[in-house]
Amino acid sequence: MIKININIDGYEISIPEGIPLIDAARESGFYIPGICSHPELKPSGLCGLCVVEIDGFDEPQLSCMVMPDDGMVIRTSSDQLIEIRENALREILANHPHACLDCDIRFECDRTQCKYDKPEYDRCCGHFDECELRHLTDYMGVPKGTPEYIPRDLPKITEQEMFFRDYNLCISCTRCVQACMISEGLNIYGNYFPDGKLDPSKIKPLTETDCSFCGYCVDACPTGAISLLETDFGFLGYFPMGTAGRLAIPTPPPSKKLPLNKETINQVTVNPGRFNIYHKDGKLLDSKRCKNLQEELSELMNEFTDCYFTLQPDY
């Protein structure tokens, strides 16, 4: 395997030649946000989240569409990139229920009875725990100015008691299109997305197509728009694709876990950033971007006992 050397955010790393920059970066511990890409699928560049700055390019580039060259210098976080990503995420969330995504009790709520009386159409679905979009917003935050979700009353389809398709949850990532082509060589979902956006008039029962119900589309879907009926929500890893859509769930940049106590918090540099709080068993309890890390962590210290935290100064 031929290796090349690139520079990401000031770090020199060695990566295999011929893989998209977004995958190379993630494999090396540098998370670049994105939700339409997947290591086993062809990149589409539709979500617009994975922008990076590359020396020699005048404009930010989509990292899923870039094959790195030896010596390439890349920056994954800047004010310009954050603004581009937040604008792209606003557009995605405007067409997807998102009331639960930044709720202060989202990890404890069973999402059946809303403490804040949010309408049911704006609450997250039963795939909350493994939803890739939820993990993405945990990482980036729900951008200020995100429009309120307005129900679109899109089709909800049950077929042969196998799949449930709820297109109100679809974010037009088109990963189902690619998965279908890889699995069966079919284009069952292809014409659902003219110009990259879902056209509800194109949706038809899968029983009227050559679909074999192999399940690759379920495995690839990052939101639960296509799910299994005969299992509990969140059942993953059943289908041959193996590395499910949730493979791309954001993970924090390299950072050791620190005990959540006064002594450690006092050592934190006072600056804006994002933190994750974990229980001692490793479960993520909270994730938040704030203006003052030290101040925010100090306020939470008594609420989260016997816990650890990691820091993400930028995303």
Task: Give me the amino acid identity at 141.
Answer: G
- The token duo for 164 is 């449930």
Indicate whether 82 pLDDT > 80. Answer: yes
Reported residue count of the chain is 315
The pLDDT value given to residue 124 = 86
For residue 200, what are its two tokens? 């509800």
Q: What is the pLDDT of residue 62?
A: 97
Domains of the chain from N-terminus onward: 3-77 (3.10.20.740), 156-248 (3.30.70.20), 258-312 (no CATH)
Spatial contact of 228 and 218, defined as CB atoms under 8 Å apart: yes
Average pLDDT over residues 104-125: 84
Model confidence at 245: pLDDT above 50: no
Distance, in Å, from the CA atom of 293 to the CA atom of 104, rounded to the nearest integer, reads: 17
Instruction: Compute the mean pLDDT over every residue in the chain, rounded to the nearest whole number.
Output: 83
Please report the pLDDT score of residue 135 as a whole number.
86
pLDDT at 199 over 90: yes
Q: How far apart are CA 107 and CA 312, in angstroms?
A: 20
Q: At what angle do helices 132-140 and 79-94 cross, to 10 degrees?
A: 140
**Listed range (85-94, 187-196, 210-219) with the worst mean pLDDT:** 210-219
**How confident is the model at residue 270, as a pLDDT?**
61
Q: Residue 238: its pLDDT value, please?
A: 35
Q: What pLDDT score does 312 carry? A: 64
Q: What is the pTM of this model?
A: 0.73
pLDDT single digits (tens) 118-167: 888 898 888 887 788 988 888 888 999 999 999 989 999 987 667 889 99
Q: Is pLDDT at 248 greater than 80 in this prediction?
A: no
Q: Which two tokens stand for residue 259?
A: 């005990």
User: Would you place residue 236 in the very low, low, confident or very high pLDDT band (cuts 50, 70, 90)?
Assistant: very low
Task: pLDDT band for 251, please (50, 70, 90 cuts).
Answer: very low
pLDDT (0 to 100) of residue 59:
96
The CA–CA distances, whole Å, from 202 to 194, 208, 219, 286 equal: 9, 13, 22, 40
Positions of E strands within the chain: 3-8, 11-16, 51-54, 61-62, 73-75, 156-159, 163-166, 226-228, 258-259, 273-279, 284-290, 307-312
Number of H helices, E strands in the chain: 7, 12
Q: Identify the CA nearest to 74 among candidates 21, 17, 4, 19.
A: 21
Q: So what's the pLDDT on residue 160?
A: 67
Amino acid at 38: H
pLDDT, tens digit (0-9, with 9 covering 90-100), for 36-55: 988 888 888 999 999 999 99
Least confident of 78-87, 206-215, 241-250: 241-250
